[in-house]
Structures are given as structure tokens and as C-alpha cells.
Structure 1
Amino acid sequence: MDMKIEESVQSNAFEVKPVNRIKSKGKALTQNIIYVYCPAGKEAEIADIVKDYDFDIVVNDYELENYDKKVICHYESSSLNKQQRGFLVKATELGAWVEPLVSYLDTRLGYTEVHLLHSGYFLHQKAFSILSTKRTQLAKRVIDLLAAAILSLIALPVCLITAIAIKVESKGPILYRQKRVGQYNDEFEVIKFRSMCTDAEKSGAQWAIKNDSRVTKVGKFIRKTRIDELPQIINILKGEMSIIGPRPEREVFISDLEKSIPYYRFRHAVKPGVTGLAQVSYPYGASIEDAVWKHKYDIYYIKHHSTFLDIKILLKTVKVVLFGAGR
């Protein structure tokens, strides 16, 4: 920061007396302009990420003279110098709405901008109730077991019909087992109704794609309605999966995806789910870009998990099953 900006930090921030303050998070989320303060060299990176938002940002304006109804976000504030951090503190004292950029965007967008993440985001474990609160973990397990028991009773006739249909249409096993990566990077065998022909991966591991020719006629229907996931009730009862969480992926794909997607393995801090926020929020896709978007929702879910959010995802999943949306 040059001398001119440094003088602005030292003078302007102390002279301003705001009149109209933002008094609620709701008001902060409706502002058309937000002010972002970050280390030098990060300006272009932030501007590129937020360029398609429906609001504007102003980066590192230390000559700001009026904090009336101002939203001020900081990014990597630990790397700012003393005067810059002092500017943010004084802005808070004078009534501006001040918070970390990632947390502000989380709430406003409903997903996490993973390209803005840095290690500090993950090192405050107490901020992740799903990771640090035993009561939350116990409640989630109880919900899993109750949901699995209820699903088992409701889904039994559907499972019997599905098993017969699979057997009639094509040769091969009714159930399909495949190694996936679960909580703490431990591998387990996910169980599904077989939806593809038996030699689907004779040429090696492949991402499933829309209108995949390897999918059988029965398979298309059970994948669209999520019926193929019902045998994962067994995985839930065994404690390998949860009803809701990031979808488990195969190690061969994870090793590739983590090269392009920041902190991709953090999804393994929790149990994988039969359904999840990404599945009910983002359409079917099988590209790196699609994986990035799903990761945005998965990280958001881990950070902001609540029983209410789980119920909301369950209701949206029911809508997917009934109307064949998604996937």
C-alpha cells in the first residue's frame, strides 16, 4: 500500500460519522454494492470470480468517506498490514456491516465460492457443528436410523418390482457394489440396483454421462427416480453413509478432481449421503465444471449443516423422486 493510501486509512476512517446503519443480515444481503478489502495482488482474482454476480463490488477503496449502509467484506485479513486492519476495525466501530467475504457470499448465494477458500476457513472446527458437536452428530444418526427404517417399509414393494424388472431385462446381478470413498477417506462398498449393462466398464472407469448408452431401459427409469439408490439403506444401517451428505465418489476420480478443485477431499470430513444439497440444487453433469459446482454446495452443507437444512433437502429429494427432476 503506497503512502497516499496509507494516509487515507489513517485519516478518513477516523473522521466519518455514519447516520444510517445496516441493522440486520437481511438488509446487508440486499445491497447493490459491497466493498471488499484484500491483500495486494488478490484484486484481479476476486474481481474475476464475482464478475457474474447481480451486485457490484469495489475492491480496496481506502478513501471511502461514508459508511452509511455500507457492507464491507474482508478476504485473507491476516495478510493485511496494521493500518489496513485498523481501517476495518474502525469501519466496524462506525457502524458499517463488516464480515469475511466468504461467509457473506455463503449466505447471499446459498453456496460456497470454493476458489476463495483458504486454509483458515477449515481450521475453526467449532464453526462446523456437524464436526464438533456430539449432540448434532447423535441427532443426525438418530434421523438416519429412523429414516432408514421408514424407507425400508415403504420401499419394500418398489424394491421387489425393481429386482424383477432388472432380472427380466438383462443378465447379471440385481445389485451393484462399487468401492467409494467415505468419511475420513475410508473406502467402503456402496450398494445400488444395477442400472447399467454388466460390461459397462470393460474399458476402465468412466464418468456416467447424460443419455449414457451403457444404461439399460430399466436403469434409465430407476436412475431418474433415484430408485437405484434404495439399497444404500444397508450402507446407512452399517454406519457407512447418512441419508444426507456429499455423494460418495470413487478414488480414481477424486485423485483427478482434487488437482483442479480446491480442498476437494474436505467433503470426506462427514459421512457421504444418499442424497445431498448438491443433488437437489444442481442439474445432472459430468464435467470438471459440474464437479466444481457440486463441491460449492457440499462445502456449504458441511459449514451450515442443521436439522432444518436436512429436512429441506429431504423434501426437495421427494420432489425429485415424484417428478423425475434432477440427475
Structure 2
Amino acid sequence: MRYKMFYNNEKFKKIKVTNRFKSRNEALKQRQIYVYCPPELEKTIGQIVEDYSFDMVVNDYTITDFNKKVVCHYQASDLTKEQRHYLVVATELGAWVEPLVSYLDSRLGYTEVKLLHSSFFLHQKAFSILSTKRTQLAKRSIDIISAFLLSLVAFPIGLITALFIKFESPGPVFYKQKRTGQYNVEFEVIKFRSMRNDAEKSGAQWAAKNDARVTKVGNIIRKTRIDELPQIINIFKGEMSIVGPRPEREVFIDELEKEIPYYRFRHAVKPGVTGLAQVSYPYGASINDAIWKHKYDLFYIKHHSAYLDIKILFKTVKVVLFGMGR
């Protein structure tokens, strides 16, 4: 292995640290990063390279000057003792060293699901939303306050919406549907009806853009998210959060988890009325769209904070006002 050329000689000792990164932000802007992983995973990393605007140099153990270099590792526990020591030396000599998944999280703003493996989920303390009681209480407080304030606006809008729904098409004003929530427990999500009353007479179907089953009023309330307002009730009941992954139907989850690694992990938290995926990714109803939304949902769970919740809420207001996304 090329690494052994340097392991026992004096070259590392002669290298001086002269130019470290001044901030994480600087490390996130590098056009080239160095990635170290088990040899059998090089192809996987190589496929990821095609997706991004920066280069990844994989398993180059000839590097001795680590000034202003980003060094990322992937499944480092499967590296040899010598290879792991190389990464330690890189840290000592000024490199910016961190796991590849966390580096890409920060650089891309979403979690690359192609790189996920079980150890990512086994460090529960890394997910403050799952392990810290104070964080959970703060989130519940934001939910209750947001739901109360939103209900003041939602009540008059809801009355007008209900009248228009009744005038346009026969059927109930509200639409209840079983969705899978936290810990895989099903609950009934409440929405204003936006489709014809017989929309699923042929069985469950993916909603699609320009769906013929959607009524004229339904089209408006879906674009502006008004159809989601009755979910304030789900928030007060503790079944949903104001921000989180959108709840999905079990029939679709069974299909999606065959294609998307760790898809059910989104159920570790309460589903949300709005979420990072909804304000970051345009409307879509394909498997590929579901994969992209899952990337944002996992990022949200991993990096949750009160600040991120508030940021998503403000973005949601922008979506509602300008009718963007879904």
C-alpha cells in the first residue's frame, strides 16, 4: 500500500503547519476534498462524485502536506490501524478532518442517503430531538404557541374555505385519512377536502401535479396550504408537530422503504404540518422525488434546532403568500 511509504519515515515530522482553515465555512468551500474509506467502497464514493460541483480524491495515502486540506472518512471503523493513524496524523498536521456524511450535510444542506449505514443512526445522543428532554419540551412549546396563533388566523379563513368547498362539489368539508406518525403509530390526519368525493374509488393513488381529481377550490387551497390548516387539531392532540417530516400513508411507505434506505427512520419524530423538504424541494410524486424529500427529512432530524424550526416556518409563510412549492 502506498501509505506505508510514509508511515515509518521522517517526512511527516518535517511538515510544518502554516495554513489552517480559519473557519468551518472556509473548509466547506474547497473545490477538492480527500476521502478515505475501505477499498471495496471506493466505487460507491466514485458514483457520488458525479453529483457534485467539487472533486473527491479517494484513498490517496501519499499526501504529506495537509495545510488547507479537507480530509473526510467513511466507515473509518473498517479501515486498518495504520490507515486510521494516517487520519490522526492528518488532524495533527492541520487538515480539516470529519466524517464524510456530516461534511456533505453541511455543504449540501441535505443528507446523502446513498452513504447511510446503520452506525449513522445508532448514536442517538447525536440527535438532540430524540435524546434531549429540554429540546423536546421546547419543540412542544413552539408547537402549542404556533398552533394557537395560527388558529386565530385559520378560523375565519377556514369558514370561507368550507363554504366554497360546499358550493363547488358534494361531500364533506373535511377529509380524514390514516397516516403513519411517530413510532409507526397510525392516526387520522385532518384536511380540508381538495379532491372530488370519489377521488379514490379505484384505490390509493399518488397525488400528482395538475391532478384531474383536484377541484378548482382544491387547487387553490393546495397551492396556498390552506388545506392543511385543520391539522392544527392534530397538533393540539399531540399527534403532529408544526414542523417535521410530512406524514405518509402506510400503503405508500411499504412501497417506498423497498427503494429508499432507512425510510421509516422519519417516524422517530412527530410528523409536521410543514417541513424542510416542503420548503426546499418542489412538488413531486415519484420515487425520485420521495428520495430527495427523504434527504431533507433526515437532515432535519439530525440537525434539528428551535432556530431551524423558526426558519422553516418563515419559509412556509413565503410559500403560502406566493403559492410556491407543495
Deviates more, 1:63-72 or 1:10-19: 10-19
Cα displacement string for residues 228-276 of structure 1 (whole angstroms, at most 9, x for unaligned residues): 0000000000000000000000011011101111110000000000000
Structure 1 residue 9 displacement after superposition: 4.5
Distance, in Å, in 2 between the alignment partners of 1:147 and 1:189 is 21
Partner SS for 1:42: helix
Distance, in Å, in 2 between the alignment partners of 1:290 and 1:8 is 46
Structure 1 residue 10 displacement after superposition: 4.7
Distance, in Å, in 2 between the alignment partners of 1:47 and 1:158 is 51
Cα displacement string for residues 96-150 of structure 1 (whole angstroms, at most 9, x for unaligned residues): 1100000000001110001101111111111111111111100111111111111
Structure 1 segment 174-213 matched on structure 2, within 5 A: 174-213=173-212
Letter in 2 for 1:201: E
Structure 1 residue 26 displacement after superposition: 1.1
Match of 2:300 in 1: 301
Cα displacement string for residues 150-202 of structure 1 (whole angstroms, at most 9, x for unaligned residues): 11111111000000001110010100000000000000000000000111111
Match of 2:78 in 1: 79
Asked if 2 retains the 8 angstrom alpha-carbon contact of 1:144 and 1:243, the reply is yes
Structure 1 segment 26-37 matched on structure 2, within 5 A: 26-37=25-36
Distance, in Å, in 1 between the alignment partners of 2:188 and 2:281 is 25
Match of 2:69 in 1: 70
Cα displacement string for residues 15-58 of structure 1 (whole angstroms, at most 9, x for unaligned residues): 53332111321111111110000001111111212312111110
Distance, in Å, in 2 between the alignment partners of 1:45 and 1:124 is 23
Is 1:234 paired with 2:259?
no
Off by >4 Å, runs of 4+ in structure 1:
9-15
Distance, in Å, in 1 between the alignment partners of 2:119 and 2:289 is 25
TM-score (norm 1): 0.97
Partner SS for 1:254: helix
Match of 2:287 in 1: 288
Match of 1:7 in 2: 5
Distance, in Å, in 2 between the alignment partners of 1:15 and 1:120 is 36
Structure 1: segments with no counterpart, 5+ residues: none
Distance, in Å, in 1 between the alignment partners of 2:226 and 2:310 is 20
Distance, in Å, in 1 between the alignment partners of 2:315 and 2:3 is 49
RMSD of aligned Cα (Å): 1.1
Distance, in Å, in 2 between the alignment partners of 1:57 and 1:278 is 27
Distance, in Å, in 2 between the alignment partners of 1:19 and 1:84 is 24
Deviates more, 1:44-53 or 1:89-98: 44-53
TM-score (norm 2): 0.97
Partner SS for 1:41: helix
Asked if 2 retains the 8 angstrom alpha-carbon contact of 1:181 and 1:187, the reply is yes
- Describe the shift of the 1:13–1:269 C-alpha distance in structure 2 as closer, same or farther (beyond 3 A): farther
Structure 2: segments with no counterpart, 5+ residues: none
Match of 1:96 in 2: 95
- Describe the shift of the 1:41–1:9 C-alpha distance in structure 2 as closer, same or farther (beyond 3 A): farther
Structure 1 segment 36-47 matched on structure 2, within 5 A: 36-47=35-46
Match of 1:143 in 2: 142
Distance, in Å, in 1 between the alignment partners of 2:43 and 2:184 is 35
- Describe the shift of the 1:10–1:182 C-alpha distance in structure 2 as closer, same or farther (beyond 3 A): farther
Asked if 1 retains the 8 angstrom alpha-carbon contact of 2:67 and 2:93, the reply is no
Distance, in Å, in 1 between the alignment partners of 2:301 and 2:54 is 26
Partner SS for 2:53: coil
Asked if 1 retains the 8 angstrom alpha-carbon contact of 2:34 and 2:58, the reply is yes
Task: Give percent identity, aligned residues only.
Answer: 72
Is 1:261 paired with 2:260?
yes
Match of 1:21 in 2: 20
Distance, in Å, in 1 between the alignment partners of 2:135 and 2:38 is 36
